Amino acid sequence: MIKAIFFDYDGVLTTDKTGSLTTNRYLSKLSGVEYEVLKDAFAPYNKDLLLGRTTHAEIWGAVCEAIQHDLDFDWLEQAFLSTPQNVSMFALARKLKPGYTLGIITDNKKDRIDCLRKAQSLDDVFNPIVVSAEFGSGKGSPAVFEHALHRLGLRPEEAIFVDNTVDNLVAPRHIGMHAILHDDARNDVEGLIATLRDQFEVGLN
């Protein structure tokens, strides 16, 4: 019996494939710096940001130096807030919530998720919210999934994980969790609903 459903954040609960895409696109629009230039400037720090080894505040000066442009640090929060919510997926989550525990497992930066937890009221729908930058490990390892299950006292076979990247389904399946690929390009929420219903007998209220 399925008791919990975990969602990835970017590309599942949002309509942008990654958080870096959202952030760099917004900063590019405000600053006039080309998107690819910003992407390349942040790239050397991305892994450390995702694993909580550094912060945006600590790398900001180096990024500005790399792009030869003085970015206003306050723009970063605005960039976070520009994250496009996947309205259809949130509607599905609200239908699932009365019958199931819902959580988020995401490879993400701590300051970004802290901002969006408040702005999008994520804690009203999802608990736990497991963030790689807080946990110190990402979805490439079973540890983050084991941690999420332990917090709920569940066995792997009692939970489903939904992600938009095939590689991120390997670790949860390895420990016995069910995993579903969400096609972010099509945003086929109806297809996800059908999979939940037909393969896992998940009921919707």
**Using one digit for the tens of pLDDT, what is the confidence trace for 24-60?**
999 999 999 999 999 999 999 999 999 999 999 999 9
Average pLDDT over residues 92-108: 97
The pLDDT of residue 49: 98
**Using one digit for the tens of pLDDT, what is the confidence trace for 120-135?**
999 999 999 999 999 9
According to DSSP H, which parts of the chain are helical? 19-31, 35-50, 56-67, 74-81, 87-96, 110-119, 132-135, 142-152, 170-174, 189-200
Quote the Cα angle for 107-78-18, to 5°. Answer: 30
Residue found by looking up tokens 């550094």 in the block = 54
The pLDDT of residue 63: 98
pTM: predicted TM-score of the whole model, two decimal places: 0.96
Spatial CA neighbour of 28 closest among 66, 79, 81, 63: 79
What share of the chain in percent tops pLDDT 70? 100
Question: What is the overall mean pLDDT for the chain?
Answer: 97
Q: How far apart are the first and last CA of the chain?
A: 17
Average pLDDT over residues 181-194: 96
The pLDDT of residue 204: 85
Average pLDDT over residues 62-77: 97
Instruction: Give the C-alpha separation, 58 to 61, whole Å.
Output: 7
Using the predicted structure, report yes or no on whether residue 205 has a pLDDT greater than 80.
Answer: no
Instruction: Give the C-alpha separation, 84 to 13, whole Å.
Output: 9
